[in-house]
Amino acid sequence: MVGYSDEELRLLTPLDISVPGEREINANFFSEMRQGKRQHYEMIKQLRCKNGKLIWVQLYVFAITDRKSGMQLPFGIVFDITERKQAQDALQETRTELAHVARVATLGQLTASITHEIRQPIAAARNNATAALNFLDAQPPDLGEVREALGCVVDDTDRAGAIVDRIRDQIKKALPQKDRFDLNEAINQVVVWAQGEITQNRVSVDTHLTEVALSVQGDRVQLQQVVLNLILNALEAMGSVQEGPRELSISTEQTQANGFLVTVRDTGPGIDPENIDRVFEAFYTTKSSGVGMGLSICRSIIDAHGGRLWADMKASRGAVFRFTLPGMESESHEFSDS
């Protein structure tokens, strides 16, 4: 597997063919096994071959007792998983690229809303700057009012800059970030982004968010992408409704396991029960212009955050999508970048 002969391997230890960054971990495991603190361990690591090439292996090590000496000896099994690891990395890269493409496409749909959101602080800054000039022209100049108006200009430009930064974060290619943020505030932000589509489809929005902040840890941009995708799907579904109210409901609540539950409910035509298990499949779509990746990417994002995304089959009307996220205290899942 690593290109050495039996004789050469007998002169080496596992640490000799491990990469530098993993040697300390391996040494600690071996030490714990010799001291009887550990009976077995499993890890995925890299080994350096005789020719210098690195391979990925899955390693299982057990402590066994030598019948003659009574000593605890390590017994190891090593599997070469290089091809599997390369395939996983390629799949991850593809998922990341698809998620980025989906995000950019979604922002394209929201051009009107984004333009409106940016124009508001710019217009307010212009009005406040004009007011400051008028106060300066007064006889005598009202410097107190000028100072207040210029302070408002600074606030308005900061608000416009924050909007641009949020859009840039959505568009740029970046590794997932594990940050702590308020889930309710992030959802409210998404509703503002979608306001143009909401108005265009004549939909009323009702939000039932917890009064206390919901502190989650994960990638804010990715989780907002999930909420935005669910909202846009609901708006598109309700666009075909000719009679009856068009209502979108978004709610958050804490679960008994100290996690969080987010629910997005609409009054559209709903989901065919026969297809409810397929809506999260890649490339499955009921839309004439869709490619069927939105919900698949959303589920991948929620899975990576240690949560679960599903369609509620008990909905009496329209469609209901729910997803859970672990709370800060109960979170034991290690966030991945899938």
Q: Give the pLDDT band of residue 332 (cuts 50, 70, 90).
A: very low
Same CATH fold assignment for domains 109-174 and 175-338: no
Alpha carbon of residue 246 to chain centroid: 29
Q: What is the 3-state secondary structure (H, E, C) of the chain?
A: CCCCCHHHHHCCCHHHHECHHHHHHHHHHHHHHHCCCCCEEEEEEEEECCCCCEEEEEEEEEEEECCCCCCEEEEEEEEECHHHHHHHHHHHHHHHHHHHHHHHHHHHHCHHHHHHHHHHHHHHHHHHHHHHHHHHHCCCCCHHHHHHHHHHHHHHHHHHHHHHHHHHHHHCCCCCCCEEEEHHHHHHHHHHHCHHHHHHCCCEEEEECCCCCCEEEECHHHHHHHHHHHHHHHHHHHCCCCCCCCEEEEEEEECCCCCEEEEEEECCCCCCHHHCCCCCCCCCCCCCCCCCCHHHHHHHHHHHCCCEEEECCCCCCCCEEEEEECCCCCCCCCCCCC
Supply the pLDDT for residue 290: 43
Pairing of strands 215-218, 72-80: unpaired
Task: Give me the residue spans of the domains in the chain.
Answer: 6-80, 109-174, 175-338
Supply the pLDDT for residue 206: 93
Instruction: Tell me if the domain spanning 109-174 has CATH number 1.10.287.
Output: yes
pLDDT digits (tens, 9 = 90+) for 19-62: 877 777 777 877 887 777 878 888 888 888 999 899 999 888 88
Q: What is the mean pLDDT of the chain?
A: 80
Q: Sign (positive/negative) of CA torsion 40, 46, 52, 53?
A: positive
For 6-15, what is the mean pLDDT?
86
pLDDT digits (tens, 9 = 90+) for 208-222: 999 888 899 988 888
Q: Give the pLDDT band of residue 292 (cuts 50, 70, 90).
A: very low
Q: Has residue 180 got a pLDDT over 80? A: yes
CATH of span 175-338? 3.30.565.10
Supply the pLDDT for residue 210: 92
Q: Has residue 288 got a pLDDT over 60? A: no
Q: Give the pLDDT band of residue 329 (cuts 50, 70, 90).
A: low
Beta bridge partners of 19: none
Supply the pLDDT for residue 117: 63
Q: Picking from 81-90, 225-234, 288-297, 304-313, which range would have the lowest pLDDT averaged per residue?
A: 288-297
Q: Has residue 196 got a pLDDT over 70? A: yes
Supply the pLDDT for residue 204: 92
Q: Picking from 55-64, 235-244, 248-257, which range would have the lowest pLDDT averaged per residue?
A: 235-244
Instruction: Tell me if the domain spanning 6-80 has CATH number 3.30.450.20.
Output: yes
pLDDT digits (tens, 9 = 90+) for 100-159: 666 666 666 556 556 666 777 788 888 889 988 998 988 888 899 989 989 989 988 887
| Neighbouring C-alpha atoms within 13 Å toward the C-beta of 126 | 5
